[in-house]
Amino acid sequence: MTVERMIRIVAGLFIMISLALGVEGSPLFVSKWALAFTAFVGANLFQFGFTNFCPMAIILRKLGFKDGASCAA
């Protein structure tokens, strides 16, 4: 599995978890402040699209994941 694919998987998972914790209708609701994490992940994905720099990519490379053809940071 490539770094870019893992970034998408982890970002999607973080967004789903933070939405489950931050939406009042959810049975897992904790606080509306959990939605701030959703915004943080979205902002990081946005800047990664422009700058091609992602701290998660650095971590994943150190864990042994390989770069894909379209991913470089």
Q: Would you say residue 12 lies in a domain?
A: yes
In a domain, 67, yes or no: no
Distances in whole angstroms, Cα of residue 63 to Cα of each of 10, 45, 67, 73: 14, 20, 12, 15
Report which residue type is found at 40.
F
Does residue 70 belong to any structural domain of this protein? no
What is the domain range of residue 57?
A: 3-62
12-67 pLDDT, tens digit per residue, is: 999 999 999 999 999 999 999 999 999 999 999 999 999 999 999 999 999 999 99
pLDDT reported for residue 69: 64
